[in-house]
Amino acid sequence: MQIPFLSGKPAGRLASLLMLCSVLVPMAAAWGDEDPESLDIMERQMAHLQQQQQALQNELAAMHQQIAQHRARIGGTSAAGGSAGHPLEVTGSGGHVRGGWVPVEGHATQQAAAGEPVGRPHIGGYSDPTSALGDQPTVESVVAHREEDLISHMANNNVGPHNRETVGAQSAGALGSKVFHLGPVAIILGGFFDAAALVENRQVSSGIFNYWNAIPFRDSSNYHTTNFNGDARYSRFSLMARGQLNPHLTVAGFVETDFGASAETTNPYESNSYVPRLRQAYLTLDDSRANTHFLIGQAWTMLTPDRVGIVPRQESLPETIESSILAGQTWSRQWQVRVVKDFLKHRLWTGLSIENPATIYDTTGFSAAGDNGEYSLANGGYAKLGSNGVGLSSATTNYSNEIAPDIIGKLAWDPSWGHYEVEGVVHFPHDRSVINGVGENHTAIAWGAGGSMILPVIPHRLEVRLAGLAGKGIGRYGSVLLPDATLRANGAPALLSSAQTTAGVIAHPNKVIDVYGYFGMQRSGRSYFDEDGGAYGYGNPNADNTGCMTEGSDLNSAALGGCTANIRSVEEFTIGAWYRFIHGQYGTVQAGTQLAYSRVHTWGGMGGAPTTSLSEIFFDFRYLPFQ
């Protein structure tokens, strides 16, 4: 006879058998006086159940022996290194936990998924489940989570990985606690439904994505027009599939999408049908024995500041509503192959990544020689910077010529207080010029170096974040997207110096409120030349800025002058708050508001150095069903 509820884990099956035996024994005694045949059937069933019970007892004994051997093998770890006293110590994602715990209604599991300090009070309001339920290792405590999420706890830097409900965590790709199993593969879902709106004192047709390059000057009527825009296109959905290859080797795939892209048929007048956008899609392989972590696919660039170690989905991103994040923020999401290794009980991390390259050129003064990335030079030749997309690429986008991937290195340190990192990047802008029928390739070497730190002034309650990057030819790694290069007289790339920085204070006064304030800045250098009466390059003092302050001058440049005005720097000040007013097993509902002020400064030319600004108020509602 098959009994359906005798499935599951050995301990659960044994408990079910014991309960069944306690019911069947008196029943057999009662039926025996009335029906000898029934008694015979019951005796055979009891014999079968006793055999199953003995088999399960043997299996449990073997499991206890394995656990004892594992504890003996890793014994003394806490006393030996930096993770002493931490309630969770993981050597593999297969459920081997020293000092482990039993989850209470999924809360402890949610903490591990969130990348939160398990077993200690924190802004999410969960308490230590070990205090009431003892110290028993369970497979459930780690089965749903990536190896690096758990290893990151070992650093215990008092910064703590993100609470999953914070917007910075959502930007990085936080997953929820809802787990589904397809055989040996665990499926974890994430994402949210988003409804955002903003009011701005200029007309910038970019929605809640700030495009600082398009903030109008006084010559444009858009400067004098207030604008309202509401948008649900940044609703987001993510999924991770994870499998355990052996007790120390974990493989996972992660994908994340929203509707932040647009297409030729997109319009705001009828269907608002914005196409899906691929935010992230990558494969990871983590080895807890060798302490190495491999990633390939599209993810946040390794230049993006982190909160702990060098760990995917633990990037340190602002809590802002605006989807362009923050002026001066270092980031990109792009294809990469990344190898990371950690040392000293997961406190010292090193990483090397090769990533997809791109170059933003400024061609002020150079006229287009066609619509396919060719620009006329002053000497009669032309420079070929890239080509418009074909096939499945965008036909309206010019893809820059690139000769090699970007090379990025990072070193991160997690002492007992704070997170600190330094990084560097090398980039190789590449183009071709043709002068008097003779073609020549040109390659420049761009570079950048920077770092970031998180200072937990009050651990898990108040923190200060500082980050910066500086170099030449790396403007695209900043939110403002200032140019990487312009052109020399011979058509070769002329690299532009670049610097960007952010500073923020983030407070969590209680488990349902987040308050933040940030300052961000990005600036660009200049490179130019004059030839045959023409002004070429970025920031040329002979550029025509005479019409930048007169409305309508861009419609009649011959009479009133133009507005060349290359951007020198952009600054942003912003404050905001989030309130999680519904939270439970059905997910989280939160609302936020943000005030932002941006100011644009330009390089001086004929007519001066005009400035412009943008003031915005953002509102947002989000439902996170999995968090």
Q: What is the rounded distance in angstroms from the CA atom of residue 544 to the CA atom of residue 532?
A: 16
Per-residue confidence (pLDDT) for residue 15, from 0 to 100: 53
Per-residue confidence (pLDDT) for residue 179, from 0 to 100: 83
In a domain, 197, yes or no: yes
Q: Name residue, tokens 């959905």.
A: 237
| Parent domain of 248 | 147-624
**What's the helix, strand, coil split of the chain in %, to 5?**
20, 40, 40
Amino acid present at 105: E
In a domain, 102, yes or no: no
Per-residue confidence (pLDDT) for residue 81, from 0 to 100: 37
Per-residue confidence (pLDDT) for residue 6, from 0 to 100: 42
Query: Measuring CA to CA, which residue among 178, 167, 287 is closest to residue 240?
Result: 178
In a domain, 82, yes or no: no
In a domain, 73, yes or no: no
Query: Measuring CA to CA, which residue among 83, 88, 91, 79 is closest to residue 109?
Result: 88
In a domain, 616, yes or no: yes
How many domains is the chain built from? 1
Per-residue confidence (pLDDT) for residue 40, from 0 to 100: 67
CATH of the domain at 330: 2.40.160.10
pLDDT along the chain (627 residues), means of 10: 45 52 49 54 71 73 69 48 35 32 36 38 33 38 43 68 81 87 91 96 93 94 95 95 89 95 84 92 92 96 95 94 96 97 91 98 90 88 93 88 97 94 98 94 98 94 96 97 97 97 95 95 97 93 90 62 89 97 91 98 94 98 93
Beta bridge pairs of residue 200 = 227, 616
In a domain, 250, yes or no: yes
Instruction: Tell me the DSSP string of 199-235.
Output: EESS--TTTTS--GGG---TTSGGGG--EEEEE-TT-
Per-residue confidence (pLDDT) for residue 441, from 0 to 100: 97
Query: Measuring CA to CA, which residue among 149, 126, 170, 163 is closest to residue 507?
Result: 163
CB atoms < 10 A from the CB of 381, how many?
20
How many helical (H) and strand (E) elements, i.e. helices and strands, does the chain have?
8, 30
Query: Measuring CA to CA, which residue among 162, 159, 150 is closest to residue 415?
Result: 159
In a domain, 106, yes or no: no
In a domain, 18, yes or no: no
Q: What is the rounded distance in angstroms from the CA atom of residue 473 to the CA atom of residue 457?
A: 35
